Amino acid sequence: MIFEPSYTEEFYKKLAYLFYSIAMADKKMVVDEKRKIVAYVEKYWMVSLESTNSAEIIYETLRVLIKEKVSSEEAFQIFKTYFNENPQKFPLEINKKLMETIDSIAISASRRNKSELVLLTKTHKLLFKDP
């Protein structure tokens, strides 16, 4: 995937917040969800940046969120704020890939549970709202 230079370290950190919020919607992140995050980072979200790469940024952000026990809702709100402040970084193609990624995370453990469905719906409404 080709990203414009405007996709900075901050962009990938905020993607990690979204991935974390979905994985932690049921208050626990299982191995299957971690594997799915890695698979989709490799599929869609891996690029080289000036001093690092996007995958390391995402993984390090996830480690911090797990260590600090950030709630799923708080992580989602941080992503939502970033999204609303940077709409130009989220064209339709990116938003479709984000939905595919988080849906895959949600079903990786044992189908979508109610908490994940609610968060998937909120994310879909955010990403695909009418301007």
**Residue 53's CATH number:** 1.10.3680
List phi, psi (to 5°) of 48: -85, 135
Does residue 1 have a pLDDT over 70? no
For 10-59, the pLDDT digits (tens) are 999 999 999 999 999 989 898 999 999 999 999 999 888 777 899 999 99
Instruction: Give the range of the structural domain holding residue 15, as residue numbers without chain letter.
Output: 9-127
Any domain includes 94? yes
Is residue 4 assigned to a domain? no
Count of residues making up the chain: 131
Q: Per the domain annotation, does 80 fall within a domain?
A: yes
Residues 68, 64: Cα–Cα separation, whole Å: 6
How many domains would you assign to the chain?
1
Q: 4-8, 12-16, 24-28, 115-119: which has the minimum mean pLDDT?
A: 4-8
What's residue 49's pLDDT? 77
CB atoms within 10 A of CB 57: 22
Average pLDDT along the chain: 90
1 assigned to some structural domain: no
Model confidence, pTM: 0.91
